Copies of this chain bind each other. A is one copy, B any other.
Amino acid sequence: MKLLVEVDLVYKFDNATQVIASIEASHTSDQIVLSETLDVQPATQLLRDKTLTGDRRIRASMTGEVAIRYSASVENNVRQLLPETGRQHLWSELPHEVLPFLLPSRFCPSDKFMRFAQREFSNSGDGVARVMSILNWISSHVDYVSGVSDSETTAERTFVDRAGVCRDFAHLGITLSRALGIPARAVSAYALDLNPPDFHAVLEVYLENRWWLVDPTKLAPIEGIVRIGSGRDASDIAFLTSDKKCQMVSQTVTVSQAV
């Protein structure tokens, strides 16, 4: 599937503010960025990073009202879907850089869920089967409702609330996976079919020697998702991080399928 992404962000910065923006499609093996443009008005000096995992970030100092516009054409027919079977790795089999994604993090306190996860999923088979059980458990026990959660909501709280949005669904999926010894990370994304259109949050699990993208909200087809960045949880993949408070003036996200 070939996707066209366009995002327009306008922010207001009262004072000179240091900013890290994470809005560009990642350059990873599971999606091909055919073309892309980035424009910031007024003209601003930008530092553009690419991490070891292919995620990209923009660093800049911004003042006053600033408009950031990014558009990309992305082919992601190379993305493979989670296979029907696949086993969970022993920790000793994992690449070194995957280990941090076994650990609890701020929004994904997997250490607190070890007993629940054992009780609920220990008979769910291994690897892919176990991940599917987690995704199904979330679908059937948590309502997709906006307004219940906010930017400080942890998976622990969502587990009690039984309601949340994509970010919360992803955090809960990550938390339960890690509680069962499966590496899991948060992924920010653009996605087809979201209503209203917005940034999306999903997760990746590490099985069968690679990361697989899954979406516990089931709102978008996996092949309709454009990866932006990955990290331990929402703390790492915010589309804007700043050293001072700033104000979002407007945000428009459009994702469409190219014909």
Contact = CB atoms under 8 A, between A and B. Distances in A.
A159 interface: yes
Interface stretch (A65-73, A104-112, A201-209): A104-112
B162 A160 contact: no
A99 B243 contact: no
A142 B96 CA distance: 36
Interface residues of A, number: 44
Interface stretch (A55-63, A128-136, A188-196, A212-220): A55-63
Interface in A36-73: 47, 49, 51, 57, 59-61
Chain A binding surface, main DSSP class: mixed
A116 interface: yes
Contacts of A61: 90, 92
Interface string A136-163: 0000010100000000000011011111
A116 B243 contact: no
Contacts of A104: 106, 235
Nearest to A109: B106
Contact of A92 (B47, B100, B115): B47
A136 to B, nearest CB: 16
A90 B45 CA distance: 13
Contact of A91 (B59, B90, B92): B59
A156 B153 CA distance: 14
Interface in A99-126: 99-100, 102-106, 109, 112-116, 119
B18 A119 contact: no
A164 to B, nearest CB: 11
A236 interface: yes
B241 A103 contact: yes
Interface of A: 18-20, 47, 49, 51, 57, 59-61, 90-92, 96, 99-100, 102-106, 109, 112-116, 119, 141, 143, 156-157, 159-163, 181, 231, 235-236, 241, 243, 245
